[in-house]
Structures are given as structure tokens and as C-alpha cells.
Amino acid sequence: MLESQTIKEAVDSALEVRVVGLSGSLRSPSATRMAVQYALKGAEEEGAKIEVLDLAAYNLPYWGLEREETNVKAVGLFRNDLRASDGIILGTPEMHGSISGVLKNALDLAGTEEFEGKMVGLVGVAGGRMGAIEALSHLRAIGRSLHAWVVPAQVSIGDSVQAFNLNGEPTDPELGDRLKSVGREVAHFARLHKCENHAQFLREWETRPSISK
């Protein structure tokens, strides 16, 4: 019994996934941040540990100044927090037909070390009725160039001022479901991605020489 509990704990821990979210708007309140938080709820429902990495709190420099002595710590902390994730939700406002400079700068400070092989989910927010289609398609291309797995589900939100209430809840429940489905997909595929190790763990555990005899 004790042994099987130990196996279960080891398997659970091997399959634990951490999904983090980045919002490309530093405003408060921000529809992008609310969208990211809602997508993360979906990841949580899928069993992931979740966290919003607040780009304002890192005090990140512009790309090109990251090696200045005063900036090394902030950039290192940001990159470490990203590296410690299995999946990443990227949220951006549509800004002049593309992603926000805030998010682009943060992604430029990171690289394939933080993104390669990771599951990435996208949500975009726009003031206009057309939604954030351009920003999402640019972000998908950026994800590919970072060697990430950008999951097929994505959400584009138009009319951003009406999309969320003051509590950060989507005014249309269907929008909430779609946002959560992005997070669920990221967590689900991130876990599957870890399964090879899990299968190897089980194989080696089951065939290991017994030390109790």
C-alpha cells in the first residue's frame, strides 16, 4: 500500500504542469489581463498550477539594455520564471494592427530557452469590432519562431470595453468557456508532452531490481 502510494505521488509529481500567463497590457483595469486570467482558470480546471507573471512588476528594460548592470537581475528573474513553466498563455491587445510593444519587448528579452517545446495559448483583445485577428496571427508566427507549440484554440475579443464586468468576469458566458478552453488545451497538451518521461518512469519502476528481498 505504502509503495503504491509512493508510486502515485511520484507519477502525480512527474505529471504536474505549471502554466503561466503574460498580459501585454500594463493598464489597470485591462481587458487583456482579465482574458489571460480567465484562460488560466481553464488550465487550473485541467489540474495545472497557474500564475500570472506581471510584466509591470519585473521592471523590465527595453531589449538592448538587458546587459546593463542595473537590468540583469530583473531580466534573469523574468526568464527563470518563464523557464519554470510547462505552458504559457500569451495575451495581447491589438495595437495599430499588431501585438503590443510591451509584450513584444518581453518576448524579445526571452528566447527559445524559455519557449522551445512548450505549449502556448493565445488570447487577443481589441477595442474595435474586428477583434484582434492581426495581433493573434503575428503572435502565432512569433510562437513558431520561438519553437513553441502554439495550440490551435485561440480567442479574439472585440469591443473590449464591454467584454468583462468590474469583477473580471466575461459578460458573455460563452466567451468565458472559449477562454477557458485555451487554458485547458495548453494544460492538457503540456501534460501529454511530459508523458514520455512518465511512461519511462513507470517502465523503470516496474522492472527495477527489488531491494526488499
Ligand X SMILES: Cc1cc2nc3c(=O)[nH]c(=O)nc-3n(C[C@H](O)[C@H](O)[C@H](O)COP(=O)(O)O)c2cc1C
- The residue within the footprint of ligand X, chosen from 20, 55, 95, 107 (CB under 6 A), is 95
- The residue within the footprint of ligand X, chosen from 38, 46, 82, 94 (CB under 6 A), is 94
For ligand X (CB under 6 A), the number of binding residues is 15
- The residue within the footprint of ligand X, chosen from 54, 128, 162, 165 (CB under 6 A), is 128
Nearest-CA neighbor of 205 among 2, 4, 1?
A: 4
Q: 46 or 134, CB closer to ligand X?
A: 134
Q: Quick check: 88 binds ligand X (CB under 6 A)?
A: no
Task: Compute the least distance from the CB of residue 21 to ligand X, in Å.
Answer: 13
Helix (H) or strand (E) holding 68: none
Task: Compute the least distance from the CB of residue 126 to ligand X, in Å.
Answer: 3
State how far the Cα of 35 lies from the Cα of 87, in Å rounded to an integer.
16
For residue 29, say if its preceding peptide bond is cis, omega within 30 degrees of 0. Answer: yes
State how far the Cα of 35 lies from the Cα of 21, in Å rounded to an integer.
10
Mapped onto helix, strand or coil, the DSSP state of residue 150 is: strand
From 41-49, 119-127, 140-148, 201-209, give the range in contact with ligand X by CB under 6 A: 119-127
Residue span 10-49 as binding mask against ligand X, x where in contact by CB under 6 A, dash where not: ---------------x-x--xxx-----------------
State how far the Cα of 92 lies from the Cα of 102, in Å rounded to an integer.
9
Q: 60 or 102, CB closer to ligand X?
A: 102
Name residues whose C-beta falls within 8 Å of residue 41's C-beta, 6 or more positions apart in sequence.
50, 179, 180, 183
Burial class (CB in 10 A: 0-12, 13-18, 19+), 62: exposed
CB-based contact 48:127 (threshold 8 Å): no
Residues numbered 50 to 69 that lie near ligand X (CB under 6 A) are none
- The residue within the footprint of ligand X, chosen from 47, 61, 111, 127 (CB under 6 A), is 127
Residues numbered 132 to 171 that lie near ligand X (CB under 6 A) are 160
- Per CB under 6 A, residues contacting ligand X are 25, 27, 30-32, 93-97, 125-128, 160
